[in-house]
Chains A and B, each alone.
Chain A
Amino acid sequence: MENYIDLLPCITWKWLKMNGRTEDISPASHGAEGINIPEGWQVSDDRTAYGSDIDPRSNKQIEKALFDGKIVTGIGPYMDHTAKVNGIPVVRMTAGEAPLIIENRYAQDDHIMTCIEVTVPDGMHTTVIEKFLSEDDTTAEAAFQTKFIIGKNASVDFVQVQKLGRGVKLFNDIGSKIDKDGRLDQVYVLISGGKTFFGSRTALNGDKSACSLDMAYIVKGEEELDTNIAAFQTGRKTDTQITVNGTLKDKAKKLMRATIDFKKGSSGSTGKETEDVLMMNEGVINRTVPLILCTEEDVEGIHGATLGRPSEEIVTYMMSRGLDKASIYDIMEKARLDACTAKIADEATREETARYLHPEEE
């Protein structure tokens, strides 16, 4: 299979180089054994890797798979294929009420891939927390795939916190399908990481199902962030809310693909995606391609993006209060992550994340 990832759900001009990209994923080991299963959760004996025969450049095949009720992740079929050919087991779990906390702490030269699948039974509410951590000077490659099957009236608070070294490449891949009245609420705080590929595709199959993503990031130095977020709305009265607040500084690069796809039959559905990016200095590259695709009349889709440097008015005001420019910029970039961190329901994780953000306060 071609090593093509992050396929834009409706491609555009090739010279923009935003339709997707080729990227090798080469795991040498898996992280399945490091997962601590909380009380009340059940683990399946079936650890068969997924594999995929979907062409990673074919939106038609991906769409067909989604209509067939399969899960396709944001990074795409190449992740499933890589897991299969490298014998990466899938940890299949049925959720309980206790939170599942997975702390991935990567070491120098790790090439590790982990795949989990969480089935959330009808009516169950659960929390899944994933941390991606390493020392600042670590060089490693990590791939982590999370699949959610969310039952009727079930819900998941899903938290991801990332603080990785500048030499770490992370493939953070998510695929979900949500049944009637189910919901997935994700908070993703990205503090650092050399190259981050974030893909999340959610199929809102059930009527009144919903998903939200609150994402905040700082990408700095030579770091790079490449995302592919997609909501595939087929159920009636479904809702998607994607909110992204980010800061780019130094020579950072970011490409945000975000898609809301209203399919025929998704009447009464809504979707909103907003992106606000602060560009702190010369040398950053900020690319965005937000899509709204629609084959249903009775829907409302909105996208808004604001890209640029901090408002002169705000900076001037804060300087008039005695702060220097560097402090003001520092406050502004951290405020975005603080606001996102505040949405983490789990207190211990929230405090831990705040410590990563404000080490000077320790």
Chain B
Amino acid sequence: MAEREKTQVADIDRTVYDMRNEDKDAYRFEGGLTREIVEKLSAEKDDPEWMREFRLRSLELYNQIPVPDWGPDISGLDMDKIVTYVRPNAKMSANWDDVPDEIKDTFVKLGIPQAEINSLAGVGAQYDSELVYHNVRKDAEEQGVIYTDFESAVKGEYGDMVREHFMKLIPPTSHKFAALHGAVWSGGSFVYVPKGVKVSYPLQSYFRLNAPGAGQFEHTLIIVDEGADLHFIEGCSAPKYNLANLHAGAVEIYIKKGGHCRYSTIENWSKNMYNLNTKVARVEEGGSIEWISGSFGSHISYLYPMSDLVGEGARSDFTGIAFANTDQDLDTGCKVAHRAPNTHSYTNTRSISKGGGVNTFRSCVYVAPEAKGSKCAVSCTSLMLDSESRSDTIPAMDIRTDDCDVGHEARIGRISDDTVFYLMSRGLSEEEAKAMIVSGFADSVSKELPLEYAVEMNNLIRLEMIGAIG
């Protein structure tokens, strides 16, 4: 019998992401995490006293909370070697011409300035631990939209608002890496969209980690006021090094009554990255959050955006795709808490595993006793492209009212021979049929992205179809 020919799914072409600059002009802390380092960072940032104390309390918690033992192995992450702060030799500017050429070139190659011209209402570009560029379009500014770097917000006129909201959705007690973030956060953005304002174009923050052995701990705080509407895009990448890098950012989104936020992420860290990121949205009455999440990079990922539906009629939609290849263990998913009546959530995820990559879909749906009339649906589909890889689904549901409707479905498998056969009966060649199936598999996510990002995502999943699949 002839040996079965397998479909070849190409590795991601990472050339553009793997470009690296020597960080000879950067200022770096020594590696490790000590009280002295946290105090030095706080002084470097000229933190207000409350923030300094917050950092030190977080450090104490970090030292007390154990490393999680339920997810991917992160024993390769040696915090004594991670540099928690790297300041590039650049001051933040609202003009790309003021950004040093080497750094600017990196963002140009990543397409950020062009995207800003084409389709964005504002851009924040972080390089290692600091923002190097931050700008918001005049028309958005005139609508009262505040989009600024996080450190200015902490110390400036929005200081009280920041203090009221900072790490309230992700308290440092949440888990070890939330505590780490509380201790050494640096950079990030603050967004406030006033009542009733619909921001026509997305805002984007792009996080680039260039320094080897460094950590990036940006904090993003978004407040969407009553009836307001925002699309926020987060992008991230890093060149590959032979030593571990760490990303432990935090995203907190407050959506007031009737507000709406779409938060899109294309995560494309290098394969030496430990991506231990935390995201939470709190949604009030009639508000909605949409998470669009593409996880392609990193060596290890722990990523579960959470929607806390606290107001009647609040809604959450989560659409995610994860592509795990060689040396990747991506533990991704989401959490939804229905804590008010008539709340709705829908989760739809796709994952692809190949080349020994590990994908885990992990989720939790909680429906509180007071969440009467709520509806929740979770759907996850996983595609295994070889038997060296692994794909697990671990969804949990905790339902505490009878007056709700909860559905869950999961499917793991390979490309169906029947589907290929059917498409061939409709006139497609075998090659075309398989290409269509694999492309369509990721379509539910890419169609939710703005065109430029959908193109980027499709580039990330470049599929070369040769012959039959398994």
Which residues on A are within 8 Å of B, measured CB to CB?
10-14, 16, 18-19, 262, 264-265, 267, 279-282, 284-309
Which residues on B are within 8 Å of A, measured CB to CB?
69-70, 362, 364, 369, 382, 384-387, 389-414, 470
| Complex CA–CA separation, A304 to B407 (angstroms) | 7
Q: Known: A10-B392, A282-B401. Contact between A296 and B387, CB under 8 A?
A: yes
**Residue in chain A with minimal CB distance to B363:** A12
- Out of B362, B364, B407, name the residue touching A305 (CB < 8 Å): B407
Q: Is the CB of A287 within 8 A of B397?
A: yes
Q: Is the CB of A304 within 8 A of B408?
A: yes
| Complex CA–CA separation, A290 to B412 (angstroms) | 13
Residues of B within 8 A of A290 (CB): 395, 408, 410
Shortest A293–chain B CB gap in Å is 5
Residues of B within 8 A of A292 (CB): 392-393, 410, 412
| Complex CA–CA separation, A299 to B396 (angstroms) | 23
| Complex CA–CA separation, A299 to B369 (angstroms) | 38
Q: Is the CB of A303 within 8 A of B408?
A: yes
Residues of A within 8 A of B70 (CB): 11-14, 19
**Residue in chain A with minimal CB distance to B402:** A279
Q: Is the CB of A309 within 8 A of B398?
A: no
Closest 9 CB pairs of A and B: A279-B402, A307-B406, A305-B408, A300-B413, A301-B412, A303-B410, A297-B384, A286-B399, A289-B396
Q: Is the CB of A287 within 8 A of B390?
A: no
Residues of B within 8 A of A13 (CB): 70, 362, 364, 396
28 pairs from A and B in contact (CB 8 Å cutoff): A10-B394, A13-B70, A13-B362, A14-B70, A16-B364, A279-B404, A280-B402, A281-B402, A282-B369, A284-B400, A284-B402, A285-B398, A286-B400, A288-B408, A292-B393, A294-B384, A294-B412, A295-B387, A297-B386, A297-B470, A298-B414, A300-B411, A303-B393, A303-B409, A305-B397, A305-B406, A308-B404, A309-B404
Residues of A within 8 A of B400 (CB): 284-286
**Residue in chain B with minimal CB distance to A309:** B402
Q: Known: A288-B396, A289-B397. Contact between A297 and B387, CB under 8 A?
A: yes
Task: Select the residue from A14, A294, A296, A299 with max chain B CB neighbours within 10 A.
Answer: A294
- Out of A281, A297, A306, name the residue touching B414 (CB < 8 Å): A297
Shortest A340–chain B CB gap in Å is 22
Shortest B390–chain A CB gap in Å is 5
Residues of A within 8 A of B401 (CB): 279, 282
- Out of A16, A294, A304, name the residue touching B382 (CB < 8 Å): A294
| Complex CA–CA separation, A267 to B387 (angstroms) | 9
Shortest A234–chain B CB gap in Å is 13
Shortest A185–chain B CB gap in Å is 24
Q: Is the CB of A299 within 8 A of B407?
A: no
Residues of A within 8 A of B396 (CB): 12-13, 16, 18, 287-289
**Residue in chain A with minimal CB distance to B383:** A297
| Complex CA–CA separation, A309 to B404 (angstroms) | 7
Q: Is the CB of A264 within 8 A of B404?
A: no
Shortest B425–chain A CB gap in Å is 21
| Complex CA–CA separation, A80 to B243 (angstroms) | 45
Residues of A within 8 A of B394 (CB): 10, 12, 289, 291
